[in-house]
Amino acid sequence: MEGFDFFPVSSVHDEAWLQNLPIPQNVPLQAGTDNPSSFTDPMPNTEHFIPSVQEQNLHPHIPPHYGATYDQPSYSESLQAQQVQLEVLRETRRIRELELQIAEEKRHESEARLREREADVALAEAQIKLRTMEMSRHSSFQDLSGFAPSQAPDGRFAQHFESSPSTDDASGPSSDSATWLDPSLSGMMFPDYFTPDTSAFPSLTPAASDPSPSGPSTSSHLDVGGPSDQLFVSLAPPSDPSCPRKPRRTQVSNSRKKGTRAVDECDAFCNQCNKFIAKLLLRGSQEELDVSYDLYYRCSTCAPIGHGTSTRKRANEPDDTASPTICDVCNRIQGFGGFNAKDSRTILAFAVEVVCASCSDKYRRCTNCGGGSSRGGIGKWRCKELFEDDRKTCGLSHARLGGRDMELAVWEIPTELPGRQDLPLVIDAIENLWHEHVVARMGVPEVLEYQSVRNYEDIKAKILDLHFPGRSLFTDQVPIPGRRLFTALTWAKIRARRDKSKPQWARSRPQDKSINEWVAYNTRRSNVLYPANSLLCGVWIAEWNIVDRTLLMGTVCMFDYLDVEDRSAYSFEEFLYRILCEIRQHNSRHPEDPWHPPEHLWAAIKSNPYSLRMRLVETLERRLGFMPVEEYITRYPGARHEMFTANSASLAKAVDDRLSVDNKEMTIIVKYIGVSSLENLERKKAARLAKPHKTEAKFV
């Protein structure tokens, strides 16, 4: 009877309500009975189920004889819990509907602002077109009138742009123009709505303007003799900090992919002390740069670091005047400031690159060196001494090696190079390659601003004048018993920049290349010391100690981090191939004195400065498995410290004799290469040559 709680019956109608109850026709048998005779059994005593009179008075809405079978409190709690859950779901739905409604309103508002912005841009473009037409009409009328502007009646043509009121004035168009124009032609050729708004153009005379309350104004002097979209202004620091300054447009590039991109250049001065802070390079489209704004900057002296905080989430936003002004070249804070749009509805969408005064005098950007960022220009900043005759590209080689034809040759220096006529040319080529490598690595702001070498003169005096390491090994080296000194030279064929023909290596199938002729997919094994029409691109030196079974390797162009190239691996394989071939020949001739392949590969590094050396050492340890010599000796008991010193190899001695700009000692790292065999090396090279290289897809 618990299911009838939803229909309470008063005690007055109990009998009628019970009489109307349906009587079941098929009553199931009691559990454990086999025939209907069990219905005649006496009913059990149910008096303890009948409520007393006091209980009926307490619950008058419950019918008698049935009140004891109800579980009213537990069901009410369940019902209340369901009602609360239902209300929570309804409230959640109402909240979600409100959120959707708010999002829809924001979307409509943003669309309205976008339409308003598009309308403003269209109106501004229309005004510019009208002003351009009016200026062309004035110039054509001047040619037809037959007299110069200085000969105009009343002599007021020279002051026309300076004294003409704006069209927004209630007095209407300028009366000065009507003074010298013919009234009959003025009404017919120049309607009132073609009268130029001269307030939008700066004056032709250097007159001071009223200071802007939010910062310096952007008005400037207009050179009417040049194009209408080019502004040339004088950026000498004015005497008044509030004097207006306008950027000059120095470069316009037309790109089919990105559209027309322009570059404006302006100088940022402190608004309090008038100190020059930095040069600002503004990059954007013509529409993004042709907006009205004010520059507001303060130097580090007038606004010390930490004086305020910026609310911008993204750095270098032009309209954030509280953000620090960080030089994009040296990454130092020069002050605080930014741009203020004169129209609050205008969004400054151009990118700003900051170059401080020191970096402007010290560096220039090379557009051919690659690199750059979305905010800055394309190229790398390098020492200004590398740029000749105000060129935009530095004097370093910008040859892209890529998939060129190359050749590699291994020579034993003491026995195969002396007396060769091409040896001086090879030494000069090595010197030029090392010179460019050092300047390219160290003549950049990342090194000169934070290392012991501060400028190009320091690089030249402390490093370049010492010549490349190991130069003496090529000129006055004599054979040493028990040692072999090799060099591996990699040459790339010179190729015209516009030459799109297929290189020689791409004309042979990978499966047709043999290990006796090819070192890599585009590199042949050579026996020419100085090949014609070629560019030296890799120099490695190795010294093999036969008794100690060590192999010392070094290069005149020590690579930087993330610059471990395949050519270094090819040179190492060629060294090992040459050594294994000599071991086979010696063991066949002298079986009583067998030679064994080298087991310990080590490097002696003394790069300048010390921080660059540590970065190189960390790369070799992390990527190639080298370890410091002290740790290596503890791990491999067969290795001794005397095997890895400056006196154990001529190359290590030449490196250790060089002066260091920071007086740091030579760093030695070692790697265990195990026992190598000529068969395994040939099998590995054959598998690599048979595999198509990804570069070959360009020439299919």
Residues 6+ apart with CB under 8 A from 457: none
pLDDT at site 318: 59
DSSP-assigned beta bridge partners for residue 545? 483, 550
In single-letter form, the type of residue at position 123 comes to L
pLDDT at site 690: 85
Tell how far CA 97 is from the center of its chain: 42
Q: How far apart are CA 388 and CA 364, in angstroms?
A: 11
Q: Counting every residue, how long is the chain?
A: 700
Q: How far apart are CA 183 and CA 671, in angstroms?
A: 95
Q: How far apart are CA 220 and CA 7, in angstroms?
A: 90
pLDDT at site 607: 75
Sign of the C-alpha dihedral computed for residues 277, 283, 284 and 289 taken in this order: positive
| Nearest Cα residue to 540 out of 559, 560, 524 | 559
| Nearest Cα residue to 195 out of 166, 222, 153 | 166
Which token pair is 41? 């059994």
What's the pLDDT tens digit per position in 189-225? Answer: 333 433 344 343 333 333 333 333 333 333 333 333 3
In DSSP notation, 92-161 reads: HHHHHHHHHHHHHHHHHHHHHHHHHHHHHHHHHHHHHHHHHHHHHHHHHHHHHHTS-GGGSGGG-STTHH
In DSSP notation, 428-464 reads: HHHHHHHHHHHHHHHSSHHHHTTSS--SHHHHHHHTG
Q: Which residue has the tokens 């791990």?
A: 635
In single-letter form, the type of residue at position 605 comes to I
pLDDT at site 439: 92
Exposed/middle/buried for 405, CB within 10 Å: 0-12, 13-18, 19+?
Answer: middle
Residues 6+ apart with CB under 8 A from 451: 442, 609, 611, 612
Which regions in the chain score pLDDT beneath 70? Answer: 1-75, 134-260, 305-320, 372-376, 559-566, 696-700
Tell how far CA 696 is from the center of its chain: 29
Q: How far apart are CA 113 and CA 564, in angstroms?
A: 53
Instruction: Give the full edge-to-edge strand order of the sheet including 351-356.
Output: 248-255, 259-269, 276-284, 351-356
Residues 6+ apart with CB under 8 A from 510: 521, 689, 690, 691, 692, 693, 696
Between β-strands 259-269 and 248-255, what pairing exists: parallel, antiparallel or unpaired? antiparallel
Rounded to 5°, angle at Cα 455 from 451 and 461: 95
State what percent of residues in the chain have pLDDT above 90: 32
pLDDT at site 23: 47
Residues 6+ apart with CB under 8 A from 35: none
Q: Is 604 helix (H, G, I), strand (E, B) or coil?
A: strand
Q: How far apart are CA 429 and CA 423, in angstroms?
A: 10
- Backbone torsion region of residue 66, taken as left when φ is above 0, otherwise alpha when ψ lies between -120 and 50, otherwise beta: alpha
What's the pLDDT tens digit per position in 510-554? Answer: 888 888 899 988 899 999 999 999 999 999 999 999 999 999 999
pLDDT at site 635: 94
